Amino acid sequence: MSTSSPVVVGAAPLSIADVVSVARHAAPVIVSSEALERVAETRRVIDGLAADPNPHYGVSTGFGALATTFIAPDRRLQLQASLIRSHAAGTGAEVEREVVRGLQLLRLQTLASGRTGVRPVVVETYAALLNAGITPIVREYGSLGCSGDLAPLAHIALAAMGEGDVRSADGELVPASDALTDAGIEPVTLVEKEGLALINGTDGMLATLALALHDLESLLLAADMAAAMSIESQMGTDAVFAADLMALRPQLGQGESAGNLRAFLRDSPIVHSHKGPEDGRVQDAYSLRCSPQVHGTARDTLAHATLIAGRELASVIDNPVITVDGRIESNGNFHGAPVAAVLDFLAISVADVASVSERRTDRALDPARNHGLPPFLADEVGVDSGLMIAQYASAGIVSELKRLAVPASVDSIPSSAMQEDHVSMGWAAARKLRRAIDGLGRVLAIEILTGARALDLRAPLQAGPATGAVRDLVRTVAAGPGPDRYLSPDMEAVTALVQSGAVTRIAKEHAHD
């Protein structure tokens, strides 16, 4: 049972926090009464068009390349059901539960807008599915990100019809008909226009984007902390992060990252131990000195993507759509280009942040560059390998992240007999970004694990309050310097600290300038 506050749908645009709350934390949803009134009013427009002997797309015609085919009234129920069954054509592994729940929520928001022409019962059924914890099975492949995320959304609609398979609230794979019966939900029989309204949207890629933005905000602060631990333990300087130097290049993200680094390193005994004129080094390597520039660029990318996501969350995506003055109009708003582009943009920044993190880790393990630490931070050099292979893991992930940074949105394969001749591939962009974010968390965890051991090896010099707090957190799940141990569990445990936000919470306590 969720303890999160209910999210109201249909009164105002949803926020990223709303999506995360429902998708990840199972917050209940409530459809506003005003939204249900709008939905009922718009449905009367569709009912009028259904009675018109002239064809209207999605109401009395076929779909896509078959849009010129008139469908008689006695065949329209079959038309709607056939649309959903034929479009529920996903294949591959199951998509993660939180992504599917986000997709369900965002389609519910569009249905509640009163611009799609569905009946109130459809809106109420979608809300009931979410509140019952019923998660339709959506497959990895099937969407081109144009005409919306057709296949993923069709799998949601199929479940609302009581067909296909779903995951119950406890994660059990069951037929949708059984899950709906157990929850007391009546399957819907779709009528004119409703099939199209349920599948034309950018909801899958947008749900993934919303979750990614939430996670990246946390990971970028963790990246600043990881960099501080590396800079400190490698006897680097914080002078290059001075506010007046940052003001010479007033990039907002860079300034924020530099401010965090100043705060994390300000009271460090290790940093203060070599601040005098006796330190003959002129400047640190790029991976240390330029951390704010790299992390800051990712922050600026995040800000831009958040702007685009906010606009998309305020959008009504359907085709055709019922306008405020009652017209039914075809449009191209389902094209995923705006979302696909920022999904790809974020994947580029994720790869860059992970890349510079791995370089800082590698420096910490190299006695030629780590300023007095043992090779690979090993206990008995030669007998022990220390963190040598942890860096291999980081390098392997970074190599994959570079491949995942190749844009999906520059590709297009025509479909539907050339009616849909340019598509966004936004769903593919979303799927690869999700994998990339997981990889970034793991690379940062390896840097933090390395930084914690390096700080310990600087004794009797002590870490600063901020970095020391993270080192102490790491020590709750991974032992400090000593003979080689089974390393994978330590890496997984620190990854959990990073991905759960535990490192970020400490960083927030110290992130002031």
Using one digit for the tens of pLDDT, what is the confidence trace for 193-221? 999 899 999 999 999 999 999 999 999 99
pLDDT at residue 31, rounded to an integer: 98
Report the candidate in 394, 310, 316, 308 with the shortest Cα–Cα distance to residue 344: 308
Beta-bridge partners for 136: 166
Report pLDDT digits (tens) over 268-312.
Answer: 999 999 887 666 666 899 999 999 999 999 999 999 999 999 999
Domain boundaries, the chain: 7-201, 209-510
Burial (CB < 10 A; 0-12, 13-18, 19+), residue 12, is exposed
Which residue type is seen at 44? Answer: R
Secondary structure letter of residue 415 according to DSSP: B
Q: Which CATH superfamily is domain 7-201 in?
A: Fumarase/aspartase (N-terminal domain) (1.10.275.10)
Contact 296, 256 (CB under 8 A): yes
Out of 57, 126, 392, 486, pick the active-site residue.
Answer: 57
* pTM for the full predicted model: 0.95
Helix, strand or coil, per DSSP, at residue 97: helix
Q: Which residues pair with 167 in a beta bridge?
A: 135, 173
> Among 157, 71, 168, which residue's Cα sits nearest to residue 116?
157
Residue 230 confidence (pLDDT): 98
CATH of domain 209-510: 1.20.200.10
Q: How far is 229 from 342, CA to CA, in rounded Å?
A: 30
What type of residue is 57?
Y
Query: How many angstroms separate the CA atoms of 513 and 240, rounded?
Result: 15
pLDDT value of residue 284: 92
- Is residue 57 part of the annotated active site? The answer reads yes
30 sits in which H/E element: strand 29-31
Residues 6+ apart with CB under 8 A from 47: 192
